[in-house]
Chain A
Amino acid sequence: MSGVHVTTTINGDAVEFVCNADEPLLDVLRNRLGMTGAKEGCGTGDCGACSVTVNGRLVCSCLVLGAEVQGAKVGTIEGMAKGDQLHPLQKNFIAHAALQCGICTPGFLIAAKALLDKNPDPSEEEIRFGLAGNLCRCTGYDKIVRAVQATAKEMRGA
Chain B
Amino acid sequence: MRYEAPETLKSAVTLLAKEKGLAFVLAGGTDLLVKMKGGFLEPDLVVDIKRIKGVFDITKSATGFRIGAAVPGVALGENAALVKAWPGVVEGANLIGSKQVQGRCTMVGNLCNGSPAADGVPALIAGNAKVVISGPKGKRTIPVEQVPVSPGRISLKKGEIIEAILLPKRPANSSDAYLRFIPRTEMDIAVVSAAVNLTLDGKGTVKDARVVLGAVAPTIIVVPAAAKALIGSKLDAAALEKLAAACSAACKPIDDKRGTIEFRTKVAGVLARRAAEIAYKRAGGK
Contacts and interface: CB of A to CB of B under 8 A. Distances in A.
Contact of A59 (B5, B103, B186): B103
Interface string A122-158: 0000000111111000000000000000000000000
Q: By CB atoms of chain A within 10 A, which of B34, B102, B186 has the most? A: B34
A22 to B, nearest CB: 5
Interface in B32-67: 33-34, 36-38, 46, 48, 50
Interface in A48-63: 48, 51, 54, 57-60, 62-63
Contact of A133 (B2, B34, B37, B187): B187
A132 B203 CA distance: 42
Interface stretch (A38-46, A76-84, A90-98): A38-46
B187 A46 contact: yes
A137 B45 CA distance: 37
A79 to B, nearest CB: 17
A129 B98 CA distance: 8
A44 B38 contact: yes
Nearest to B187: A132
Contacts of B72: 57
Contact of B30 (A45, A57, A70, A131): A45
Nearest to A111: B99
Contacts of B98: 45, 48, 132-134
B101 A54 contact: no
A57 B101 contact: no
Contacts of A59: 100, 103-104
A43 B29 CA distance: 13
A43 B34 CA distance: 8
A14 interface: no
Contacts of A111: 99-100
B101 A44 contact: no
Given A21-B46, A45-B34, A70 B5 contact: yes
Given A45-B97, A133-B98, 6 more contacts: A22-B1, A43-B37, A45-B34, A57-B103, A68-B5, A134-B98
Interface of B: 1-3, 5, 26, 28-30, 33-34, 36-38, 46, 48, 50, 72, 74, 97-104, 185-187
